[in-house]
Each structure stands twice: as structure tokens, then as C-alpha cells.
Chains A and B, each alone.
Chain A
Amino acid sequence: NAGVMQNPRHLVRRRGQEARLRCSPMKGHSHVYWYRQLPEEGLKFMVYLQKENIIDESGMPKERFSAEFPKEGPSILRIQQVVRGDSAAYFCASSPKFQREIQETQYFGPGTRLLVL
């Protein structure tokens, strides 16, 4: 059973370009979460999605960042007009469909390292 897959693993962009990060959850998982890890900082929550729905985007910057999880295909984190401060590792995690009596554990992918020149 394949784990959470993310691509690309490394992405280099120049200031002003767009970055698209992809995440395929584990088989059978319908919840996806995105986190960002800035250099020398801890993991910070960005957004929580289910198929075709954004459940919680309280951690997303108000501008330039968007996320989607379509009915078919991977979840996409999109960063428009990137700036140097966007350089970080972006991690995706997935969890199974929520069951009241079972606490959902989040399983993480290997991350995408974004470098903005």
C-alpha cells in the first residue's frame, strides 16, 4: 500500500512565477492536510480539505495561496507570484474517512522543497 505521494520533490522558481505542488493521499484516505515548514521553524498548519471541499483554511496566507482537492486526481497547493519568503518545505498529510470512535491519524508525505530565487 503506497504511502502519501508528493511531487515534485524539489521545485525551483524565480520570484513572480507560480508554484504548483501535488499530493496524492494514501489509498482509502479522503482527508488531506497541507503544512509548511520554514527553515529553523516547526510545522505549521495551512489547510484541511476533503474531496471538493475546503474544511479549514485558517492557516493559509490571505493572498497568493490556494488549495483544492478535486473529485478526481491529486490535491493541489498553488502559490501565485512567489516571493523568497515562500521558500520552505511543504508537507501533505492524509487520514482516513472520519469515524467517531476512531481518532484519525495523519500520515505524511516526503514533502516538496520549494526554493525561490
Chain B
Amino acid sequence: EDQVTQSPEALRLQEGESSSLNCSYTVSGLRGLFWYRQDPGKGPEFLFTLYSAGEEKEKERLKATLTKKESFLHITAPKPEDSATYLCAVQARRAGGTSYGKLTFGQGTILTVHP
């Protein structure tokens, strides 16, 4: 069974204090690893998809990296508006390269950035 574990559960940072969020995963065959941001009362907002170990993607102050067992979301010089819950999810690969469709999510990391 696919599993995703995110750490820490909650992270408090001062504005400008860089840090990283961790996502450890177990999946039979990885088709994609996804990062989403979720604000209170809203739906998850897509950030990144990573497909293979060694891949990196960046967007503004965020950078996502992937190894064979985990992914990191690095936040550089965060601002209060970066405060949100960050969700990691995996999608498994089926024989033939197609996907099972469903995403398996971690519990999320609640990030709070203080001014």
C-alpha cells in the first residue's frame, strides 16, 4: 500500500528564515510526486510535479527536489503570505506506464511565517 509521511507536522518561521519540509514516501512504482498548497477553507492549489529522482523545480521562493525515497520543499526567505498547509502526494505507476489515477496524500505540514 502506498504511504506518504510529511514532517514536521507544523513549522513556525520568522519572515526571511529559510527552511525545508520533508515528504517521505513508499510506493510500488512512482509515476509522479505532487506538491500542493492549501489555505484554510479552500481547495488544494497545485505547485509542482516531480517525476524522477534528481529532478528539481522552482517557483518564486519555493524549490522542490526528489530522491528515490523522499522529496523536500525548500522555502527561501519566506513571507507571511507563504503561511499555509503544504501537502505532498504520490501517484503510483501501473504496468505499461499508465497510472492508477488516485493520489495518496500525506497529512500535510502547517507552515506559519511571522512578520
A interface residues with partner B (beta carbon < 8 Å): 4, 6, 31, 33, 35, 41-45, 48, 55-56, 58-59, 91, 98, 100, 103-111
Contacts and interface: CB of A to CB of B under 8 A. Distances in A.
Given A42-B107, A103-B31, A103-B32, A108 B101 contact: no
B97 A105 contact: no
A56 B101 contact: yes
Contacts, number: 61
Interface residues of B, number: 26
Given A108-B36, A109-B43, A110-B43, A103 B99 contact: yes
A23 to B, nearest CB: 11
Interface string B85-109: 0010101000001111111111110
Contacts of A100: 97-98
B102 A56 contact: yes
14 contacts: A6-B43, A31-B101, A42-B87, A48-B101, A48-B102, A56-B100, A56-B101, A58-B102, A59-B102, A91-B43, A98-B98, A104-B99, A105-B34, A111-B43
